[in-house]
Structure 1
């Protein structure tokens, strides 16, 4: 791997070796926001693409000694009220946002502001943080890799953080939180010994770590380009450079706002987050900053690659022009001689000499060889 980039990746990313991606293109698509045009603020309208047939509601409820995990049917939604004021840590996850009545019912049950319910249903929502009196609201993009087809996908996740519960809303089933679930189930780490605020931090940390995961992999692709560029500049390489620049732009749209989001959480000094959790949030801010800086580094590297590509093409073209110029310089005097003896004037004595034709050829050979020696002596090739 090229040394110029590998040092940067060592300093700015965690060394994870994910499977290769087929493509990042098409990950982020603007949704049609015109569907809620003219409606009153807080109107519940789903903006996005339906990604699953039927919503699912899953619950993980635990303390240090107690653990319960289950899935509720849509007819059992009223049972969520039992977790509203429980003394346990309750993680309620909703997969599927297309049924607005379900989101509205859950929002009403947990006293979520109608404007926030609207943000939950708008999957084109920019990453944001809202501090309400009794809870905090966070929405951001979650990037993930399908290991079966190596396809990168994105979805919006919204998190409501209350002192008694954590609500998460996702577009589809399947996420990057499996490691968090396993830590809870197997009592690994400190999750089973702390509150809802630390659970919310763990979810945010997993999302941001996954940004690093993806950037590290993209960095491997970019590193490979440098070696190929130094060998030969092709149109395929140019297309790859432009593709990666576009991919970085898409990823940046998800990553850059998250750094500001975390800063706002820290500045809020909300009592929902215990004082012991704030150092972890500051560490999370450092990771988000690293991800942002890595994106900028890769952008600069790709810009340098474009310069290398165009410089290589110019050098190759100059070599071609150099060879053509040498041939032209040699053949110009020969063309002059041939032109003189091609005029066919009657009183050109050389035309009547027996050895005139061989003599002219010999002269042309001597002049050509002399021109070659002169150009070689001047080190012009």
Structure 2
């Protein structure tokens, strides 16, 4: 579908928005505005990464915005983001995307209202910055979900369950953070190249750049936090194993001498003098009780019984 968002004959300005265009529609628009064939091929590639290139008098940009419908466990860039292609000319801007993007629709409505009030307000550069800002800010929801997830892992890590944290979930979390960081890094490279065109709108550009830099630092913090959780989980699992071994060892120390005594007198040899004594049985019990009490006292004094 090809939509004419803005058209000003007075200022010779045009904004076309192509949503899930057919190849014929794309070729028709390319013919009207002299778009390069390689750029058209990139438009049709759903998994293309962010890029910036200038072909003759047209700037071609690919952005990737966060898909709010993606699951936390998804770690593929093309599954957690949606592509937006932009052609920027002297007096036109063309946006191409395969699915509806909320921030694009919001920007379209905003500019339709602005132009209804002031026809001189349209500018391809400020619209471009609005699109870039929308793509970058779309990741705020991603970080909200990631921060909630990391807080959940941190809350579960010190529970008394045998497996408070699923290692697979932590791995998927780290993979998603890494995927988001890669696409943000590519977006950052694109934004650096846009800098040459945005002198007139430096404050807007600087705000976008600072937000993206903050997101990049946040991905590093989330990766570090996930590593800490994983290491803590492994340490706690090792600690719990050691606790089990400690308890089993204490039990074995108690029962080893008792088993030795019982084993000797349970061999049923005919000539065992102790078996015929009057106090042989109670004496054996007394010895075993004293041994047990002695071991208990020794362990208690050394702080091995908690």
* 1:211–1:255 Cα contact (<8 Å) kept: no
Greater share of helix: 2
Structure-2 change in CA distance of 1:195 and 1:336 (3 Å): same
Q: Secondary structure at the match of 2:100?
A: coil
Residue equivalent to 1:249: 178
Residue equivalent to 1:220: 148
Q: Secondary structure at the match of 1:231?
A: coil
1:305 pairs, out of 202, 214, 229, with 229
2:163 pairs, out of 217, 231, 234, with 234
Partners of 1:299 and 1:264 in 2: how far apart? 28
1:96 aligns with 2:25: no
2:108 pairs, out of 173, 181, 192, with 181
Q: Secondary structure at the match of 1:230?
A: coil
Q: Which moved more, 1:115-124 or 1:346-355?
A: 346-355
1:134 aligns with 2:57: yes
Question: What is the CA-CA distance between 1:229 and the residue it aligns to?
Answer: 0.8
1:161 aligns with 2:88: yes
Matches within 5 A, 1:109-120: 109-120=32-43
- What are the Cα deviations for residues 155-182 of structure 1, in whole angstroms up to 9, with x where unaligned? 2110011221110110123433233233
* 1:140–1:254 Cα contact (<8 Å) kept: no
Q: Secondary structure at the match of 2:34?
A: coil
Residue equivalent to 2:5: 60
Given the two structures, how large is their TM-score scaled by the length of structure 2?
Answer: 0.88
* 2:185–2:216 Cα contact (<8 Å) kept: yes
Q: Secondary structure at the match of 2:114?
A: coil
1:349 pairs, out of 255, 273, 279, with 273
2:135 pairs, out of 207, 210, 214, with 207
Matches within 5 A, 1:315-354: 315-354=239-278
* 1:129–1:137 Cα contact (<8 Å) kept: yes
Residue equivalent to 1:290: 214
Residue equivalent to 1:262: 191
* 1:129–1:261 Cα contact (<8 Å) kept: yes
* 1:184–1:191 Cα contact (<8 Å) kept: no
Partners of 1:274 and 1:88 in 2: how far apart? 20
- What are the Cα deviations for residues 317-353 of structure 1, in whole angstroms up to 9, with x where unaligned? 1111111111011111111211222233333211112
Structure-2 change in CA distance of 1:248 and 1:191 (3 Å): farther
Ranges of 4+ aligned residues in structure 1 off by more than 4 Å: 188-192
Structure-2 change in CA distance of 1:194 and 1:61 (3 Å): closer
Question: What is the CA-CA distance between 1:192 and the residue it aligns to?
Answer: 6.7
The structure with higher relative contact order (CA 8 Å, sep 6+) is 1
Question: What stretches of structure 2 of length at least 5 have no aligned partner?
Answer: none
Partners of 1:184 and 1:104 in 2: how far apart? 26
Partners of 1:341 and 1:238 in 2: how far apart? 52
* 1:144–1:154 Cα contact (<8 Å) kept: yes
Residue equivalent to 1:195: 123
* 1:163–1:197 Cα contact (<8 Å) kept: no
Given the two structures, how large is their TM-score scaled by the length of structure 1?
Answer: 0.71
How many residues are paired up?
A: 296
* 2:66–2:80 Cα contact (<8 Å) kept: yes
* 1:180–1:202 Cα contact (<8 Å) kept: yes
Partners of 1:110 and 1:62 in 2: how far apart? 15
Partners of 1:216 and 1:191 in 2: how far apart? 38
| RMSD across aligned positions (CA) | 2.6
- What are the Cα deviations for residues 231-285 of structure 1, in whole angstroms up to 9, with x where unaligned? 245265323212211222332332221011111222xx2xxx3521234223322
